[in-house]
Structure formats: C-alpha cells, structure tokens
Structure 1
C-alpha cells in the first residue's frame, strides 16, 4: 500500500516538476494524515476553513443548503484529488459549504498558514500553492460552464465520461442534485442512453 505522504509528493511533482528537495521537506513538515468515517465532515458550513486536503483514499461530496433546506451537491472529490473551500480559506470567513465523506476517507492536510509561511521562505514555493489552486478552480469552472452551455443530458454524459470510477459510488439523489435535474428526469435520461 502506498504511503499517503508519498502520494502527496507525487501529486505535487505532477503539478510542479521543479519543486526542490528543500521545498518538499518544508511542505512535508506541515502535513497531517486524517482518517474520517463516512458521514464525517471535513469542512462544515458556518465554520472557517484553514485546511487544504489531499484525498489518498475515499470520496467527499461538497454541497450547500438552499433556501428550502435542500442539499445541493456542488462537487465530488475522489482519491488523488485536492479539496478545500478557497473563499473561506483566503478570506478567513465561515464556509458556506459542507464537505462530507461518503466513504471511509483518508486525507493528508496542510494548514493555509503553513503554505503561506512557505511562500515567505522559498522563492519557488508560491508556484505549488498557485498550481493546487488552479487544479481546484479548473474543476469549479468546468461545472459552471456546463450549466451555462450544456443540456442536462450532456452534463450527465460528461460526468460519466470524466468520472467512470465514481458512477457506482454516488447515489442517484446526490448525482441528480449535482447535475441540476430532478431525479425522475435523470432516470429518463439514463434509460434513453441505455436504449441508444
């Protein structure tokens, strides 16, 4: 079984092949491994978020509560992915989102304060932070654009193409919420696609 810290190092090196041994050694000092049970929250709405996480195992769902108290899924974060609530992290304000484990989840976390101190100590360290942020923001931007430009059916097709390993790990209720369609509509789309 791969060491969780080695998984983080590999992920950082994919994002930034130029990371120096000194930068990695500093980054490694700030890492903490956490194992969270299903239904446990990594981030809770109403509380400030000070952590960036990297999933080495498991699955997290991000969601918010709308005005009627319904859960609206905004993201699914599988293993080998970064997770945080950047607005809360950057502005020091309480999060507006919940990030809840759907499975037994192992996270390696680092505090935003530790990352910021790395910016001050190492000239190239800001590149690591920027590239992690870009990886998370690209995922968010794809979701926004899918609602602007794609039909519900296309959003579903894109989701299963981009996330083949997640399809059987997410409930239809969570998936329909994420895609922005009613569950009966999602069932019709699925039947239509299977019948093609």
Structure 2
C-alpha cells in the first residue's frame, strides 16, 4: 500500500501499477504555499492542476467593483485550479488563494498530457472526477436558485462541516451569495431554534 495521499486517492478509481506510480510521481511537483499566497490569479494562465495534501483554499472571482465572489473551497483530498484556464491554457477567470498554509501535488498541463499518453487509465480517472465535480456544480446552481438562504446555509453546513469550521464566516457568506450580516442573522435564528 502506498502512503502517498494522491496515489491512495487515484487508486479509489483506477488501479496503478508500481511502475505507473513511479512515472506519475516523477512527473508531478510537491509544493508548499503560505496562507494568503495565490496558486493562480485572475488574468494569468493556470499552469497547474493541484491536489491538496494539507490546507484550505478558495477559488473566487473579483468583479469590476472589487467585490469577491467565492465559487469553491478546497481541502485535503480535493482538487483545485481554474479548470477552464488550465484546459485551454488561456487567461484565468478565477483566483485560487490559500486560506491556510497549504501543501499540494501539482500537474503541469504538459506533464498531464504526457501522463495521459503513458498511463491511459489517468484519462479515465480525470474524466470520473471532472464528471463528479460537474454534477456537484449543477446541484449547487439548482440549490442557489431554488432554496432560501437559510436552507442553503444548512445544506452547506451539513455537506461540508469540516470547511465550515476552518473558513471565516464572510467567505461562507460570499459562497452562499449573501452578506456576512445576513449570515450572522441566519446563524442566530438557528441557535435560537435549538
């Protein structure tokens, strides 16, 4: 059994041989970032797909008024990137920034393409995880259109309890599309109901 978190994660979906594992690890980079550092910034080309070993990150968009809109969080055993920018190698629409000191394993675009040729199972693996991410994204869109803010918050809290404990409330409010004051009011109502 390999004690590398990335290999353990991949092996949940496809089985890699030891030679494939060695090739994969030779073509990835282990990197540490400090809290506040960016993995990618809006307007730059996203050069890496990153697997989170340790830490917490946010993916967000900054609008013309300078307002942050959080679209995703990522913690251990999750992937993060501006996927559109990574796949097209065009400027990023999103920023990916560390909320905590973070460790990741990164795949560059070129190395990813090389690994797809050498280890075809990896294409299957990435198809599966991208499909799962797409389904989760669609469900979130439906929830945002159909559920009141309180239900959206409760859904977030129940689905991602480990994130709620680690992320400042104003970022959760941004993710939910509400103000931090409104989130504070919702939390107060929930406590009063218990």
TM-score (normalised: structure 1)? 0.90
Equivalent in the alignment of 2:179: 182
Cα 1:123–1:97 change in 2 (3 A) is closer
In the alignment, structure 1 residue 169 sits paired with structure 2 residue 166: yes
Cα 1:81–1:123 change in 2 (3 A) is closer
Give the secondary structure class of the aligned counterpart of 1:165.
Answer: helix
Determine if contact 1:59/1:79 at 8 Å carries over to the other structure. yes
Cα 1:123–1:175 change in 2 (3 A) is closer
In the alignment, structure 1 residue 57 sits paired with structure 2 residue 54: yes
Quote the offset at 1:145 in angstroms.
Answer: 2.2
Equivalent in the alignment of 1:28: 25
In the alignment, structure 1 residue 102 sits paired with structure 2 residue 99: yes
Equivalent in the alignment of 1:10: 8
Deviations 1:50-70 (A, max 9, x none): 211111111001111112110
Provide the C-alpha distance between the structure 2 equivalents of 1:22 and 1:135, rounded to a whole number of angstroms.
Answer: 27
Give the secondary structure class of the aligned counterpart of 1:159.
Answer: helix
Equivalent in the alignment of 1:80: 77
| Alignment length (residue pairs) | 192
Determine if contact 1:27/1:115 at 8 Å carries over to the other structure. no
Determine if contact 1:32/1:108 at 8 Å carries over to the other structure. yes
Cα 1:22–1:139 change in 2 (3 A) is farther
Quote the offset at 1:172 in angstroms.
Answer: 1.6
| Consecutive unaligned residues in structure 1, runs of 5 or more | none
Cα 1:136–1:29 change in 2 (3 A) is farther
TM-score (normalised: structure 2)? 0.91
Give the secondary structure class of the aligned counterpart of 2:133.
Answer: helix
Give the secondary structure class of the aligned counterpart of 1:95.
Answer: coil
What RMSD over aligned residues (CA atoms) do the two structures have, in Å? 1.8
In the alignment, structure 1 residue 39 sits paired with structure 2 residue 36: yes
Provide the C-alpha distance between the structure 1 equivalents of 2:73 and 2:40, rounded to a whole number of angstroms.
Answer: 14
Provide the C-alpha distance between the structure 2 equivalents of 1:43 and 1:139, rounded to a whole number of angstroms.
Answer: 22
Dislocated runs of 4+, deviation >4 Å: none
In the alignment, structure 1 residue 137 sits paired with structure 2 residue 145: no
Equivalent in the alignment of 2:112: 115
